[in-house]
Amino acid sequence: MCWEIAARLAEAGLPHATIESDELDRVFPRPDRPALDALKPCASDVSQLNLAALWGTYRSLGHNRLIMSGVMMHVAHDKRWILAAIPDATIMVVRLRGSDATLLERLDRREIGVGRDAQIERSLRQAKRMNGEDARDFLVVDTDGRSPQEVARELLDRIGWLAAAPA
């Protein structure tokens, strides 16, 4: 979905950056506390350090919008490390909601290899948990029967970013 939003922002001429949060900590072995403290004392994890580094570069280039995709299982915790990386950020959490059938259809198109079944099980479990959460602080968008283009259009309309597009 973030790629579709990014494409629409680019069409409108609006500067932005797109980051997939899973890529911020895809490293083995994961750095331990002493290694993190050597880089930046009190950093929560390598994701925080990498996001700060990337955003510093993007901000220096004049970007002021960030689309960051990923699963936020613990929103309060995730907001803390994101704000530690980008202290002046205004964070809007968007929850894309779909039925199990929709989720399975999307996972079937995307997941291959040895981790497929575990990813499907994990995704269904996470979706059930997140659907049971209080969503007052989230922007929730239903995705059943909708294309990525339709969902991106709704999100951008609700966020208001396209209203800032140059004429």
Residues ≥6 apart with Cβ < 8 Å to 137: 75, 93
Whether the CA torsion 5, 118, 77, 139 is positive or negative: it is positive
**pLDDT bucket at 113, cuts 50 / 70 / 90:** confident
Helix pair 116-131, 100-110: axis angle to 10 deg = 150
**pLDDT bucket at 116, cuts 50 / 70 / 90:** confident
Biggest CA-to-CA distance, the chain: 51
Cβ neighbours, 10 Å, residue 44: 16
Q: What is the rounded distance in angstroms from the CA atom of residue 135 to the CA atom of residue 133?
A: 6
* Residue 160 reports pLDDT greater than 70: yes
Smallest CA-to-CA distance from 121 within 142, 103, 102 is with 103
Q: State whether residue 19 is helix, strand or coil.
A: strand
Q: How far is CA 140 from the centre of its chain?
A: 14
**pLDDT bucket at 11, cuts 50 / 70 / 90:** very high
* Residue 137 reports pLDDT greater than 90: no
**Residue in the structure block whose two tokens are 């700060």:** 52
* pLDDT average, residue stretch 10-18: 93
Percent of all residues in the chain with a pLDDT value above 90, rounded to a whole number: 43
Cβ neighbours, 10 Å, residue 85: 21
How confident is the model over 16-53, as pLDDT tens digits? 999 999 899 999 998 999 999 899 888 888 999 999 99
* pLDDT average, residue stretch 81-104: 88
**CATH entry 3.40.50.300 includes domain 2-164:** yes
Average pLDDT across the chain, whole number: 87
Are 50 and 40 spatial neighbours (Cβ–Cβ below 8 Å)? Answer: no
